[in-house]
Amino acid sequence: MEILINLVGLFIIAFIVWWFWIFKKQSEAHVEGNLLDIVVDSGVYEPSVIHVKAGEPVTLRFIRKDSSPCAEKVLFDGLDISADLSVGTPYDLTFTPEKKGEFEFTCQMAMYRGKLIVE
Ligand SMILES: [Cu+2]
């Protein structure tokens, strides 16, 4: 019986790890008209994979709904861009991606994860 309970516990831990760190619902979007809304809620950016064109200015409008401190920052790896998001006030992040490639964007603890694809 004890072994069974331990197995159930292990399964639950594995599930939690999988859910928060490994499995992320991925949704892709191409920026149309240089503006894209990104909702920050429940541990995911929606959409989380964003296609933009190199050399064209783009505005990513972050709409934060998650009030946990985890969601308050967004950092773009390799682009030297970061922003502080507040709940209820959309944050417009405008920049011109120059370098082609794939750039991760995350919260400080990398629980929220997204990818910017510059093409
Ligand atoms: Cu976080």
Residue 82: give the domain boundaries. Answer: 26-118
Say how far apart CA 29 and CA 58 lie, in whole Å. Answer: 13
Residue 89's CATH number: 2.60.40.420
Say if 8 falls within a structural domain: no
The secondary structure element, H or E, covering residue 103 is strand 101-106
Token representation of residue 20: 């928060």
The strand pair at 101-106 and 73-76 is best described as: antiparallel
Say how far apart CA 23 and CA 42 lie, in whole Å. Answer: 13
- What pLDDT digit, counting tens, does each position of 45-78 carry? 999 999 999 999 999 999 999 999 999 999 999 9
Ligand 1 centroid to Cα of residue 8, in Å, is 28
User: Which of 21-25, 82-86, 100-104, 106-110 shows the lowest per-residue confidence on average (mean pLDDT)?
Assistant: 21-25
Ligand 1 centroid to Cα of residue 63, in Å, is 15
Say how far apart CA 80 and CA 95 lie, in whole Å. Answer: 11
Whole-prediction pTM value? 0.80
Say if 110 falls within a structural domain: yes
- Amino acid residing at 49: V
Ligand 1 centroid to Cα of residue 43, in Å, is 8
